Amino acid sequence: MGNMPRYVTHIESAIDGTHFDPDQIQTLHEGRPLWVKYDLPAIQSAVDRQTVMNRPPNLWRYRELLPVGDVIQPVSLGEGMSPIIECENLGRQFDLPNLLIKDESQLPAGSFKSRGLSMAITMAKHFGVETVAIPTAGNAGGATALYAARAGMESVVLMPSDTPAINQIECFLAGAKTFLVNGLINDCGKLIGTAKEQTGWFDLSTLKEPYRIEGKKTMGLELAEQMNWKLPDVILYPTGGGTGLIGMWKAFNELRELGWLESDTMPRMVSVQSDGCCPIVRAFESGERFAEPFENAATIASGLRVPVAVGDFMILDAVAESGGQAVAAAESGLQHWQRQAIAATGISICPETAACIGALEKLRNDNWIKSDETVVVFNTGAAQKYVEAVDYSLPSIDRSQSIEEIIQQIEATALTT
Ligand SMILES: *Cc1c(COP(=O)(O)O)cnc(C)c1O
């Protein structure tokens, strides 16, 4: 390392606390994920909030709290510092004046997956990996393909055959070895898990290496900074593999230990799924720490089509520690909530986040969220990545009509929100 610091002390098993060498590439232990652990007192003396806030507006401004420290060169497309947008109109519909959306749709590749994959590919490159492989429900594959292209690495992407077309296209265009598989993300994961022994591919599957969490953690670091180091009362997060929710909870705890938060009150974390695929909600409701595989998973919110999550206990632990909940929104309501939210905010809200709007409606009706609370919903991706998920038809204008007839037709057409 020379005398340039990297603040990682060790890698630690999330299931039994075993320590591993942070200077070696690490994957799973006992089939379960690993945490990256930092020397927080050393970070505390090396950097303060103001120094971080004066740096360029991307996620690398938190580099002391990331595996790169001052040493490792990021593979970057300028990701991070997504805006937090006040949503008065949508909030009014739920009698919730302090409703905010953190809009991750503006990140590279149109989803928050760029945070985790920028970090994981940075570290894979650092460790000399030549080929990365990923099973994906959609956006992770696209982000992998783009960041691997950025890094000059080869990538192998396996996705279900009905993955949204845009995800297929972004992989194809970025030169990834992309294949459609007759199965779901966990089936793709099994193929990669078996093939990697013989091929030397590095497996970037959700939580099967420790660094994607660290990338997603920056959503929590940014949120704290953007809210003047005072966290909201409630966070709603659409959960598939769970890296985002787990990462944010880790971020809040690290910030609290660093003494950077203005208040010790932590947000209640709400893990949101669709009832078309809700293994985490089922486990939460039955008080289990591990989730049963969800049979016949089907949802237009492709990022939530994750029937098995290796980090299930990490999601459920974070939800429980925070006093939060896991909530399933009706699959049949996703298109309605997506249009309701976009029409009221102008934000390009993905179907995954539409599930959060459904959950918000329920939690306000139950008064589990109070009217005066501050609520942040994460918009994890861009609506325009989901062409197939929108059921719509538009009226046509026949140019052979008179302009009066055309105006009459336009004015007689009701707004369809
Ligand atoms: C992957 C994905 C999710 C789920 O994210 P996790 O952090 O893996 O739970 C949610 N929304 C979108 C748009 C995604 O691409």
Closest ligand 1 atom number to CA of residue 350: 13
Q: 239 alpha carbon to ligand 1 midpoint, in Å?
A: 6
**210 C-beta closer than 6 A to ligand 1:** no
CA atoms within 13 A on the CB side of 25: 16
Query: pLDDT for 399-408, tens place per residue?
Result: 999 999 999 9
How high is the pLDDT of residue 4? 72
Q: Which domains does the chain carry?
A: 84-107+211-385 (3.40.50.1100)
Q: 204 alpha carbon to ligand 1 midpoint, in Å?
A: 15
Closest ligand 1 atom number to CA of residue 247: 7
Distance CA 389, CA 144 (A): 23
pLDDT of residue 1 exceeding 80, the answer is no
Task: Give 300-341 as a DSSP string.
Answer: S-GGG--S--TTHHHHHHHHHHHT-EEEEEPGGGHHHHHHHH
Q: Which of 380, 384, 386 has the most ligand 1 atoms within 8 A of CB, as the residue to mutate?
A: 380
Closest ligand 1 atom number to CA of residue 242: 9
Q: Which of 106, 107, 112, 235 has the most ligand 1 atoms within 8 A of CB, as the residue to mutate?
A: 112
pLDDT of residue 2 exceeding 60, the answer is no
How high is the pLDDT of residue 416? 62
Residue written as tokens 């940014």?
222
Query: pLDDT for 381-396, tens place per residue?
Result: 999 999 999 999 999 9
Closest ligand 1 atom number to CA of residue 315: 9
Give SS3 for 268: strand
**136 C-beta closer than 6 A to ligand 1:** no
How high is the pLDDT of residue 7? 97
β-pairing verdict for 177-181 and 375-379: unpaired
- Under the banding of pLDDT at 50, 70 and 90, the label for residue 60 is very high
Q: 174 alpha carbon to ligand 1 midpoint, in Å?
A: 21
Over range 157-180, report the average pLDDT. Answer: 97
Over range 118-140, report the average pLDDT. Answer: 97
**302 C-beta closer than 6 A to ligand 1:** no
Over range 290-300, report the average pLDDT. Answer: 96
Over range 187-216, report the average pLDDT. Answer: 95
pLDDT of residue 417 exceeding 60, the answer is no
Over range 352-380, report the average pLDDT. Answer: 98
Percent of the chain with pLDDT over 70: 99
Mean pLDDT, all residues of the chain: 96
Over range 188-193, report the average pLDDT. Answer: 96
Closest ligand 1 atom number to CA of residue 351: 13
**64 C-beta closer than 6 A to ligand 1:** no
- Under the banding of pLDDT at 50, 70 and 90, the label for residue 413 is confident
Query: Pick from 8, 10, 15: which is nearest to 33 by CA?
Result: 15
**115 C-beta closer than 6 A to ligand 1:** no
Over range 45-50, report the average pLDDT. Answer: 96
Strand order in the sheet with 34-38: 19-20, 8-13, 34-38
**155 C-beta closer than 6 A to ligand 1:** no
pLDDT of residue 359 exceeding 70, the answer is yes
**215 C-beta closer than 6 A to ligand 1:** no
**144 C-beta closer than 6 A to ligand 1:** no
Query: pLDDT for 230-280, tens place per residue?
Result: 999 999 999 999 999 999 999 999 999 999 999 989 999 999 999 999 999
Q: 383 alpha carbon to ligand 1 midpoint, in Å?
A: 13
How high is the pLDDT of residue 3? 62
Over range 202-219, report the average pLDDT. Answer: 96
**307 C-beta closer than 6 A to ligand 1:** no
